[in-house]
Amino acid sequence: MQYGAHLPLIAFERATWSLAEVCDYTRRAAALGYRFLCANDHLFFQRPWLDGPTALAAALEASADMTLATTVALPVIRGPVATAKMLAALDRLSGGRLVAGVGPGSSRRDYAAAGIEFEQRWKRFDEAVAAMRSLLDEEVAPGRPPIWIASWGSPAGLRRVAALGDGWLASGYNTTPEAFSAARAALPRQLPNAVATMWLCVTDRRREAEHMLADVLAPMLNRPAEALRALALPIGSPQECAERISAYAQAGAERVFVWPLADPLRQLEAFRERVVPLVQSPASQEPEH
């Protein structure tokens, strides 16, 4: 099992993040041994949102040898040409360290802002990925960045992953270890995978864990807290978090990308120091170093 850290794009505890804070977070993640630095993409969100690709570019110098990952970029919303140019720049400036994760996006508000009908998203996405692949071959040849396709696990989404992708990105708040395992069985075995957007809060205080679920995450995602409790998110004690990550490892997840809900630097440390040593991975998986 390998681990990645999402950049702190959402304003949970403050109005915004400065460049120095983003770079400090990145350097700390690299020093703690996180292998991936991830950035999600939205035009609009329920809370203030720092633009993901811009933040990822700003953190390049601080990222050491971490793999950069867009989790995911939105080529339909941003346009396939502009998205391909952005991804090519990130890959070139990082020395070829980019995983180009892409998806159609699930925000009607983003589509309305871009003037695109939400119902057209899948058709437009298929066209955008084909265009991006061609453009990236021209921009970065030889050796364009791998294109990983996001899917929550629907049959149609997994068919797209198999047909269009060099890897699969699952969503930590839209699947479970059981559903992940079933979806993975429908994909080619050699296709790499990761579970992104794993909201994180390592705490020994039950009240704090419940606060994060019911008062922070549920309203932000517009989900009932009961539905979030049914997921295997790493929110709770170190042992509880390790059991949930272990369940994903047993289900065949090769990478998990965590996103701290509060006190990000402390949470990055708590996850690596108090949770990762307790994770049980299958013998067939490469151990985390």
Where are the domains positioned within the chain? 2-198+240-278
- pLDDT for the residue numbered 286: 58
Which of 146, 139, 170 lies closest to 157 in space, CA to CA?
170
- pLDDT for the residue numbered 47: 82
Which of 67, 12, 64, 62 lies closest to 38 in space, CA to CA?
67
At 13 the three-state DSSP class reads coil
- pLDDT for the residue numbered 140: 79
Q: Residue ranges of the chain with pLDDT lower than 70? A: 13-15, 283-289
At 225 the three-state DSSP class reads helix
- pLDDT for the residue numbered 45: 86
- pLDDT for the residue numbered 16: 73
- Across the chain, the runs of DSSP E, i.e. the strands, are 2-6, 36-39, 67-73, 98-102, 147-150, 167-171, 193-202, 235-236, 255-260
Q: Cα–Cα distances in Å, from 107 out to 183, 189, 245?
A: 23, 31, 27
The model carries a pTM of 0.95
- pLDDT for the residue numbered 285: 63
- pLDDT for the residue numbered 288: 64
- pLDDT for the residue numbered 17: 84
Helices 121-140, 80-93: axis angle to 10 degrees equals 40
- pLDDT for the residue numbered 233: 97
- What's the CATH number of domain 2-198+240-278, 3.20.20.30, 3.40.1110.10, 3.40.50.620, 1.10.10.10? 3.20.20.30
Two structure tokens written together for 198: 């794993």
Sorted by sequence, the CB contacts under 8 Å of residue 258 that are 6+ apart come out as 3, 4, 5, 6, 198, 199, 200, 234, 267, 268, 271
Count other C-beta atoms under 10 Å from residue 256's C-beta: 25
Residue 283's Cβ-count burial label (10 Å; 0-12, 13-18, 19+) is: exposed
